[in-house]
Amino acid sequence: MGAKLGSSGGPMADINVTPLIDVVLVLLVVFMVITPMLSSGQNVDLPMADEVTKVNDVGQFIVISVTEDRGWWVEQEQVDEDSLIPTLNLEFNHNPKRSILVKADRDLAYGDVRVVMDLLADNNWTSVLIAAGKRK
Amino acid sequence: MGAKLGTNETIADLNLTPLIDIVLVVLIIMMVNIPIQIEQMGVKLPGKVEVNTPPPDTDVKQLVIAVYPEKSGDFALALNRTLMSEHTLRMEVTTRLRNMEKKRVFVDADESVPFGRVVDMLDLARAAGADAVGLAKMKDGGPAPYTAASVGSTPRGIIVGNVKVVFYEGSTVATLSAKTADATIRAHMTELMGCYQLGLAQSSTLTGQVVARVDVGPDGQLMGHSISSDTLGNDAVTTCIDEQVLPTLAFEPLGDQNTAAVQFPLVFSPG
């Protein structure tokens, strides 16, 4: 790719393009992989609502997810009826300022989500936040 | 970039310039998209929800929205155990919340109702102006059963009785008669209902008759307004009518020093 002009003599440096492309493509792939991992909790179909306030998800919530198959998760850890509260307490002790966010799939029966909330309320977590998507 | 080997072959050179151009463009597009995606993934909340609030009494001024599953697969909605359509529910909740100082709404639902539907109700409550939304404690058989509201736009009614117009000075004027006065007060029915809701919020079986009186002057202006008689017994309602509805009534000029008194008997009944 070095063009030899008429008058210039001397060595000319050619940009070695192959590694350039390699690096660029790697960056591209890295971005494409990282993006889905940025949301917290599990992947659920959030219920849609109009009156929502947006909050930047910078780790100030303990996210409890109730997935479509009725599984319960505290952050990335799967829990069940017995381990929900102990796991929650552990997370809470790390940083007591966090509030609880419930991410539940919109197709779940109310009872399935309520059971989690009942458990929380019985243990004095009576004020929770519910995650929703903004209806367009 | 084609290396010439010993043999006499033509080797195709990959033209790299356009390749790099395309790759860099794609990279820039990704870099622009990602902040937008991150924005959209920010957590969205319909506000704090109080869970397991104690079951509200039906007498105290509280609003309970309940969702019931119907056999048809659709959902029935009720406000304070009165069945109504979603549209009516929205209007009722908005009107009542306007008159409440502590704007709290409770949402109750049967356990088989999809969660999305319950969030819709929470949404409705917030859109209607609720400050605090709570999820009522779930009962085994579902929310308390509803009763169908009477047919009509609102379940509670005001009946305008025989309007009386008495001319004190001057002769009777065609523009002010019982009929026109009746029409005038009916034009303010929404405000009257608002006043009635104030009383209903305190006692849901508020019944009685209020006779309101308005004095009209020659220019059609109000010379005075008062409540002549009251069997309702609720000061909030009568003050509301006296101070907020009566002064807004408009009449045609009577002309020529005529003055008249108009009496409106209003019967309030909880439908």
Task: State how far the alpha carbon of B181 is from the alpha carbons of B162, B205, B206, B221, B240, in Å.
Answer: 10, 28, 26, 14, 20
pLDDT, position B53? 62
CB A130 within 8 A of CB A93: no
Is B97:B201 a contact under the CB 8 Å cutoff? no
Average pLDDT over residues A28-32: 82
**Residue B46, CB half-sphere, CA atoms under 13 Å: how many?**
32
Please give the pLDDT value at position B151. Answer: 41
Q: According to the model, what pLDDT value does residue B266 have?
A: 84
CA A71, B48, A62, A135: dihedral to nearest 10 degrees? 60
pLDDT score of A9: 64
The alpha carbons of chain A give a radius of gyration, in whole angstroms, of 25
Tell me if chain B has a CB within 8 Å of the CB of A48. Answer: yes
Say if the Cβ atoms of B45 and A132 lie within 8 Å. Answer: yes
Which residues in A lie closer than 8 A to residue B48 (C-beta atoms)?
127-129
Q: How far is B115 from chain A (nearest CA, A)?
A: 5
Q: Do A53 and B16 touch (CB under 8 A)?
A: no
DSSP three-state, residue B218:
coil
- Nearest chain B residue to A46, by CA: B116
What does pTM read for this prediction?
Answer: 0.53
Q: What SS3 class is residue A100?
A: strand
Instruction: Give the whole-angstrom CA distance, residue A107 versus residue A1.
Output: 59
SS3 B63: strand
Which residues lie below 8 Å from residue B11, measured CB to CB, with a gap of 6+? B2, B3, B4, B5
At position B19, the amino acid (one-letter code) is L
Stretch (H or E) spanning A112: helix A110-122
Whats the size of chain B, residue-wise? 271
Q: Do A132 and B135 touch (CB under 8 A)?
A: no
Quick one: pLDDT at residue B155? 47
Residue contact B30–A32, C-beta within 8 A: yes
More reliable by pLDDT, B255 or A104: A104
pLDDT of residue B129: 82
The CA distance from A32 to B34, in Å, is: 9
Determine the number of helices (DSSP H) and then strands (DSSP E) in chain B: 6, 13
B-contacting residues of A 104-133, CB under 8 Å? Answer: 104-114, 117-118, 120-122, 125-133
Chain centroid offset of residue A37 CA = 5
Whether A46 shows a pLDDT value over 80: the answer reads: yes
The interface residues of chain A toward chain B in range 58-77, judged by CB-CB distance below 8 A, are 61
- Is the Cβ pair A1, B1 closer than 8 Å? yes
Whether B44 and A121 lie within 8 Å, measured CB to CB: no
Judged by CB atoms closer than 8 Å, whether chains meet at B115 and A118 is answered as no
Q: Do B49 and A131 touch (CB under 8 A)?
A: no
The answer to whether residue A15 neighbours chain B at the CB level (below 8 Å) is no
Cβ atoms B170, B157 nearer than 8 A: no
B28 touches chain A (CB under 8 A): no
CATH class of B63-149: alpha beta
Higher-confidence residue of A54 and A26: namely A26
Please indicate if any CB of chain A lies within 8 Å of the CB of B72.
Answer: no
pLDDT at A38: 65
The shortest CB-CB distance from A131 to any of B44, B110, B113 is to B44
**Burial status of residue A105 (CB atoms within 10 A of its CB: 0-12, 13-18, 19 or more):** buried
Q: Which of B4, B98, B13, B110 is nearest to B65 (CA)?
A: B110
Instruction: Look at residue B153 in the predicted model and tell me its pLDDT.
Output: 40
Per the CB < 8 A criterion, the answer to whether B191 and B248 are in contact is: yes
- Whether A55 and B31 lie within 8 Å, measured CB to CB: no
CB count in 10 Å sphere of residue B211: 17
**Which residue on chain A is closest to B1 by alpha carbon?**
A1
Strands (E), chain B: 43-45, 48-53, 63-69, 75-79, 82-84, 104-109, 132-136, 147-148, 157-160, 164-169, 208-216, 222-230, 259-269
Q: What is the pLDDT of residue A133?
A: 80
Residue with the bigger pLDDT between A42 and B58: it is A42
Chain B, nearest residue to A34 by Cα: B34
Boundaries of every domain in chain B:
2-35, 63-149, 157-269
Q: Using CB atoms, which residue from B34, B50, B114 is nearest to A110?
A: B114
A71 versus B204: the higher-pLDDT residue is A71
Q: What is the DSSP letter of B247?
A: G
Are residues A111 and B46, on separate chains, in Cβ contact within 8 Å?
Answer: no
Question: pLDDT 10s digit of each residue in chain B, 271 long?
Answer: 555 566 677 777 878 888 888 888 888 888 887 777 666 666 666 666 776 666 555 545 678 888 887 777 778 888 887 787 787 788 888 888 877 778 888 888 888 888 888 888 888 888 888 888 888 776 766 777 776 654 434 445 777 777 888 888 777 787 888 888 888 888 888 888 888 888 888 877 777 888 888 888 888 888 888 888 888 888 888 888 888 888 888 888 888 788 888 888 888 877 5
